[in-house]
A and B are shown apart, each in its own frame.
Chain A
Amino acid sequence: MSATGIGAAVRRKEDFRFITGKGQYTDDVVRPGETRAVFVRSPHAHAKIKSIDISAAKSLPGVVAVLTGAELASDKIGNLICGWMIHSKDGTPMKMAPHPALASGKVNCVGDAVAVVIGETLAQARDAAEKVKVDYEVLPSVIDPAKAKSGPQIHEIAPKNTIYEWHLGDAKATDAAFAAAKHVTKLDIINNRLVPNAVEPRAALAEYDAGTDGLTLWNTSQNPHVARLVIAAFVGMAPEHKLRVIAPDVGGGFGSKIFIYPEEVVCLWAARKVQRPVKWTADRSESFLTDAHGRDHVTHAELALDANGKILALRAKTIANLGAYMSTFSSSVPTYLYATLLSGQYDIPHIYCEVDAVYTNTAPVDAYRGAGRPEATFVVERLVEVAARQLDMDPADLRKRNFIKSFPHQTPVIMAYDAGDYNASLKKALELADVKGFNKRRREAARHGKLRGLGYSTYIEACGLAPSQAAGSLGAGVGLWESAEVRVNPTGSVEVLTGCHAHGQGHETTFAQLVSERLGIPFENVSIVHGDTDKVQFGMGTYGSRSGAVGMTAIVKALDKIEAKAKKVAAFMLEAAEGDIEFKDGKFTVAGTDKSAAFGDVALNAYIAHKFTGAELEPGLKETSFYDPTNFTFPAGCHICEVEVDSDTGKTDIVNWTAVDDFGTVINPMIVEGQVHGGIAQGIGQALLERAVYDKDGQLLTCSMMDYTMPRAHDLPSFQIGLTETKSPSNPLGIKGCGEAGAIASPAAVINAITDAIGTEELAMPATANAVWSALKRAQPRRAA
C-alpha cells in the first residue's frame, strides 16, 4: 500500500478551501444584476386560498416582481413528482397528488409556498413579502399519521388520505409460523420524525440568458443531473439541453438535498420572467418547514421464536407518514428500502410486512440518512433484544444462534446477501467493548447510584444503489447506474469527471487515490470534477452509500479502457505487438525486454499522434464508462452502546460506544471512520434528542435550533471504531459502502442500552431525560438500584 493509494489515510485535497474560507457554496455565488427571492408561505396546515392581494407588496421600493401560483399555472409550469411507482396490494397505483411549485387553490401544510417576491435586496424582498395579503379559509387538518385514514381528506385523488397499502412477503406462511411458535415477542414502535438540518441551508440561484434561451441553476443538490432531468422533462421548465445545473460546494445533504423542491423551480421560472438572476437561500426556520423530513413510522412488530431462541418468523405493520405531498423518492423509503431489510443478520424463514403510506398536513417526508434501513434495524434489533430478555438469554448468544452463516443467502424479503461474517464483527465488538467486564462496571455504578446498561445493534443494510433493472422492477422510474469519464491530458495529468457528487464525503481525495494507484501517477496530478451538468456526463449523484461501490467502479471500468488504449499507443511507440505490452507501476514495458515507456510519455504520444496513423488508431486518451451494478451491497456490523443513567434526573450518559463494521474494501480509513462518526451522531440524536413536533393544528413547534435539539459536542462521546472485512463480490474493488451505516445501527443500540439500564421496555425515542425519568417512575425496576 503506497502513501496515497488504496487503504491509505490520505489527508484531503478539498480541505484547503474549506479551512481558509474559500469554499464556494451556492449562497456565495453572486451573479451580475442578481435579485433576491423571498417566499410567502402558508401559516395554516390546511386551507383554501380565497384571494391573494399583491398590490401593497408591489408598490414597495426595490420590488421587481410578485408572482403567485395562478401565474405559474397559466405559464404551464408542471408539477413536481415522485419518481418511484408503488402499487397497493390490490394492484392499484399509488395516489400521487398534484404538487405545484406554488400552491394553487389550496395549501396543504404550514410553510406551503403561495407567492414569491423578487426584490433588489433581501431586505426589500422581505419587507414586501410581509405586505402580501392572502385570504385563507382554514380547513380542518389531520396531523397524526395514525389517525390520517379517518381525518379530513386532503387530496381529491386519495380517499382516506391513503397513498398506498403495500405488502411484502408470504402472509399465510408467516401467520402459520406464528401460530406454531412457542414464544412471541411484540412491540409497538414509533420511529420519530426528524429534520435533517444540514448546516448549509438549501439555496437556489437561477439565471436566464436571453441570447441563448438558456437557463442556469446553481443549487444545493446531491444530484444535479437528476435535478436537470426532472425540471426539464417533468416540470417542463426548458428542454434538457437548454438547462445547466451546477451543484457547487454543498454543505451537507444527508438525503435532504436529493429531492427537487419548489424553490428551485420558482427561481428558474422567475429568472426567465424578470430577465435577471434570482437567488433564494432558506432561513433556518424555512429549512425546518420545507426540507423533507425523515422517518415518521408507526409500527406494530412481532417476532416468533421456538423454545430454544431460534427465530421462526417476523411480521410488521407500519403506517408511514409521507406528509402533504409525495417528495421525489418518498414512496420507496418505507417499502423497498425498509421491508427488504427485516431479516436483519438472521436466518428467518418467514417474514411478512404491510405498509400503509398516508398523507397528513405536515411537511413532505423522504429519505434521510439510512432511508428506511434505520427504521428496519430498529424494529429487528429491538425485537431481538427484548426477546432475549423475555427468554432470559444473553442477547449476544441469541443473535449468534440466529446469524446467517452461509452465503449467498436468500432472505424472504427480496434481498440476497452475497457475503458477510456476522460472527466476526460481533466477536471483535465484544472484545473492544469489554463486555466481559460490564457486570462489574454495572455493580460499581450502582454503588454510586447510577444505572448502567448495555445495548447491541447487529445491523445489516442494503446500499450501493442500485442495479437498474432490479430497481425498475420494484418501481423506480430511473436507472441507478453511475458514470465516469477519465481524461488523460497530453501532459499526463488526469481529470476524472464523475456523475457522483461530494458534499462532505471526500471524493476529491478518495477517487484520486484510486486513479493515482492504478495509473502509477502522483496523487497531486489527479483532479476530480463533479457537480456541473455542462462538464460532466449524466450521473445519478450521491446518496444510498453508492459513490464507492458504484461511482468508483465506473471509474475502474473507464481506467480499464484507458489502460487498453494506452497499451495500443505504447505498442506503436515501443514497436512491439500490443499483446506483449505490460503495464505496472506507471510504466509500459515490452514483456521479456527492458524497453519501456512511462505513462506520461504514452499520454503525450496519444495526443501528438506521430507514432501511428489515423487509420491504425484514433488519437487521444479519454474513456467513459456507465457502470450498472449487478447487486446491492450489504455492509453489516455490530454496535455496542454502554450507558449510565441517573435515576434522579433520567439523564443518559453514553460512557462507551463501540462500532465494528464490515464495509468490504476501505479506500481511506480516515474518511470511512469520519462517516461512521457522523452517522452514529445522527443516530444518537434520533435516540436521545431529536423530534419534529407538530401541534394538533399542524404548527411546527420545533422550528428552530433552539427548539429542536441538535446534537452538540457535549452530547456525544468519542467512538471506538473497528473494521472487519468481507469484500463485496459484486464490484471489482470489493467496496460495500459506509456513508449511512452509523445512522442505521445506532438508535437501536442506544434504546437497547437504556432499557437495559432502567429495566423497562416502555420507552420511546427520543429518550430525553424526562422520558427516561418518567419511564422509571412508571415501571417496576427489574433490579434494585
Chain B
Amino acid sequence: MPAVSMTVNGKAVTGDVEARTLLVQFLRENLRLTGTHVGCDTSQCGACVVHIDGIATKACTTLALQCEGTKVTTIEGLAEPNGPLHPMQEAFREHHGLQCGFCTPGMIMAALDIVRRRGNDLDEHTIREQLDGNICRCTGYHNIVKAIAAGAKAMAKGGARQAAE
C-alpha cells in the first residue's frame, strides 16, 4: 500500500492508503477527523468541503494520494482547541444557520472560500449563487445566507485568524 504524507490542520501526518482511498476517507478513518462528512456520491452536496492549500475542494472527489505534500484544513482546524471560534463559525451560531449540523462543516468551509474569492461585502444574490455546490435540507438557506454575510463582514474586522495556511 502506498504511503501518503501531508499537513492537516497544521500537523504533519502520514498514512498507508490504497490508490482508490478518497481524501474524505483518509481524514475520517485514518485521522479520525470526523467533522468532514459524506452526504452523497456524485459530488453535489458539499458536506465534504475542505481547503487544500487554501482552496475549497470536495474531499469526496479527491484521492488521498493526490494530496501528497499539501496543506489541508478541515473544520476542526478553524479554531485553536479551547480558543475563540472563527468569526464565520460564530456567525452560523448567531444567525441560526444550522439545524441538524450535517451540512454545516462543508458550508462553513465553502463560505470561507466565497470570502476569499469575492471579498467581505457579500450580497444575498452572490451568496446564493456561490452556494450551488452545497446542499442543506433543513434550513431552506435563509439563515445560512444571513450567517455568511455576517461572517464575511466580521472577518473584515480582523477578529480571528483566516482559515487558510
Residues of A in contact with B (beta carbons under 8 Å apart): 11-12, 14-25, 27-28, 30, 122-123, 196-201, 249-252, 254, 281, 283-285, 503-506, 670-671, 673-674, 677-682, 704-706, 710-714, 716, 718-719, 742
- B138 smallest CB distance to A (angstroms): 5
Interface stretch, picked from B31-39, B61-69, B152-160, is B31-39
Query: Is B118 engaged at the interface, CB distance under 8 Å to the other chain?
Result: no
Query: Is B136 engaged at the interface, CB distance under 8 Å to the other chain?
Result: yes
Q: Which of A19, A27, A200, A674 contacts B143 (CB 8 A)?
A: A674
A254 to B41, CA, bound (A): 21
Q: Which residues of A contact B89 (CB under 8 A)?
A: 19-20
A25 and B37 form a contact (CB under 8 A): yes
Q: Which residues of A contact B76 (CB under 8 A)?
A: 20-22
Instruction: Give chain B interface residues in 72-88, CB to chain A under 8 Å.
Output: 74-76, 78-79, 85
Given A20-B76, A21-B33, A198–B100 Cβ distance below 8 Å? yes
Q: Which residues of A contact B105 (CB under 8 A)?
A: 18-19, 21
**Taking CB as reference atom, which chain A residue is nearest B125?**
A714
**Taking CB as reference atom, which chain B residue is nearest A24?**
B34
- B160 smallest CB distance to A (angstroms): 13
Query: Is B20 engaged at the interface, CB distance under 8 Å to the other chain?
Result: yes
- B81 smallest CB distance to A (angstroms): 9
Q: Which residues of B contact A677 (CB under 8 A)?
A: 139-143
Q: Which residues of A contact B92 (CB under 8 A)?
A: 15, 19
Q: Which residues of A contact B41 (CB under 8 A)?
A: 283-285, 704
Q: Which of A11, A706, A710, A713 contacts B96 (CB 8 A)?
A: A11
- A141 smallest CB distance to B (angstroms): 26
Query: Is B121 engaged at the interface, CB distance under 8 Å to the other chain?
Result: no
A249 and B45 form a contact (CB under 8 A): no
A30 to B33, CA, bound (A): 12
Q: Which of A23, A27, A283, A713 contacts B131 (CB 8 A)?
A: A713
Given A20-B89, A718-B142, A11–B132 Cβ distance below 8 Å? no
Query: Is B122 engaged at the interface, CB distance under 8 Å to the other chain?
Result: no
A254 and B137 form a contact (CB under 8 A): yes
Instruction: Give chain B interface residues in 15-39, CB to chain A under 8 Å.
Output: 18, 20-21, 25, 28, 32-39
SS of B interface (majority): loop
Q: Which of A27, A196, A284 contacts B42 (CB 8 A)?
A: A284
**Taking CB as reference atom, which chain A residue is nearest B102?**
A251
Which of B74, B94, B104, B127 has the most chain A CB within a 10 Å cutoff?
B104
Q: Which residues of B contact A200 (CB under 8 A)?
A: 37, 39, 100, 102
Query: Is B98 engaged at the interface, CB distance under 8 Å to the other chain?
Result: yes
Q: Which residues of A contact B4 (CB under 8 A)?
A: none
Query: Is B10 engaged at the interface, CB distance under 8 Å to the other chain?
Result: no
Q: Which of B138, B144, B145 contacts A504 (CB 8 A)?
A: B138
**Taking CB as reference atom, which chain A residue is nearest B79?**
A20
Q: Which residues of A contact B34 (CB under 8 A)?
A: 21, 24-25, 27-28
Q: Which residues of B contact A18 (CB under 8 A)?
A: 98, 100-101, 104-105
Given A285-B41, A678-B137, A718–B124 Cβ distance below 8 Å? yes
Q: Which residues of B contact A25 (CB under 8 A)?
A: 34, 37, 102
- A198 smallest CB distance to B (angstroms): 6
Q: Which of B42, B108, B132 contacts A704 (CB 8 A)?
A: B42
**Taking CB as reference atom, which chain A residue is nearest B124?**
A718
Query: Is B135 engaged at the interface, CB distance under 8 Å to the other chain?
Result: yes
A674 and B99 form a contact (CB under 8 A): yes
- A286 smallest CB distance to B (angstroms): 9
A716 to B141, CA, bound (A): 8
Given A284-B42, A705-B45, A719–B140 Cβ distance below 8 Å? yes
**Taking CB as reference atom, which chain A residue is nearest B47?**
A199
- B51 smallest CB distance to A (angstroms): 13
A512 to B2, CA, bound (A): 50
A23 to B102, CA, bound (A): 8
A503 and B100 form a contact (CB under 8 A): yes
Query: Is B70 engaged at the interface, CB distance under 8 Å to the other chain?
Result: no
A504 and B20 form a contact (CB under 8 A): no
Q: Which of B104, B127, B137, B145 contacts A197 (CB 8 A)?
A: B137
Q: Which residues of A contact B104 (CB under 8 A)?
A: 18-19
B40 and A284 form a contact (CB under 8 A): yes
A24 to B102, CA, bound (A): 10
- A555 smallest CB distance to B (angstroms): 21
A12 to B93, CA, bound (A): 7
SS of A interface (majority): loop
Contacts A284-B41, A284-B45 known; list 5 others, CB within 8 Å.
A14-B101, A674-B142, A681-B137, A710-B135, A713-B136
**Taking CB as reference atom, which chain A residue is nearest B81?**
A20
Q: Which residues of A contact B138 (CB under 8 A)?
A: 199, 252, 504, 674, 678
A714 and B102 form a contact (CB under 8 A): no
A412 to B25, CA, bound (A): 56
Given A12-B93, A678-B137, A712-B135, A201–B39 Cβ distance below 8 Å? yes
B42 and A705 form a contact (CB under 8 A): yes
A673 to B163, CA, bound (A): 30
- Would you list the 8 A-B pairs with minimal beta carbon distance, nearest first? A21-B35, A18-B101, A251-B102, A681-B140, A504-B99, A504-B100, A677-B140, A21-B75
**Taking CB as reference atom, which chain A residue is nearest B104?**
A18
B145 and A718 form a contact (CB under 8 A): yes
Q: Which residues of A contact B11 (CB under 8 A)?
A: none
**Taking CB as reference atom, which chain B residue is nearest A201?**
B39
B139 and A674 form a contact (CB under 8 A): yes
- A128 smallest CB distance to B (angstroms): 15
A706 and B44 form a contact (CB under 8 A): yes
Which of A705, A716, A742 has the most chain B CB within a 10 Å cutoff?
A705
A682 and B137 form a contact (CB under 8 A): yes
A714 and B140 form a contact (CB under 8 A): no
A299 to B62, CA, bound (A): 47
Q: Which of A122, A505, A719 contacts B142 (CB 8 A)?
A: A719
Given A19-B89, A21-B74, A681–B101 Cβ distance below 8 Å? no
Instruction: Give chain B interface residues in 92-123, CB to chain A under 8 Å.
Output: 92-94, 96, 98-105, 108
Q: Which residues of B contact A710 (CB under 8 A)?
A: 44-45, 135, 137
Query: Is B128 engaged at the interface, CB distance under 8 Å to the other chain?
Result: yes
**Taking CB as reference atom, which chain A residue is nearest B105?**
A21
Which of A123, A199, A251 has the most chain B CB within a 10 Å cutoff?
A199
**Taking CB as reference atom, which chain A residue is nearest B98?**
A18
Q: List 15 A-B contacts (CB under 8 A).
A: A15-B101, A19-B98, A19-B105, A21-B34, A21-B36, A23-B35, A27-B38, A198-B100, A504-B99, A678-B99, A681-B141, A706-B44, A712-B132, A713-B131, A716-B142
**Taking CB as reference atom, which chain A residue is nearest B132?**
A712
B42 and A670 form a contact (CB under 8 A): no
Q: Which of A23, A199, A716 contacts B140 (CB 8 A)?
A: A716
- A28 smallest CB distance to B (angstroms): 4
Q: Which residues of A contact B128 (CB under 8 A)?
A: 713-714, 716
A505 to B99, CA, bound (A): 6
Given A21-B33, A30-B32, A714–B131 Cβ distance below 8 Å? yes
Given A20-B75, A714-B132, A250–B100 Cβ distance below 8 Å? yes
A315 to B108, CA, bound (A): 49
Given A678-B139, A719-B142, A712–B131 Cβ distance below 8 Å? yes
- B41 smallest CB distance to A (angstroms): 5
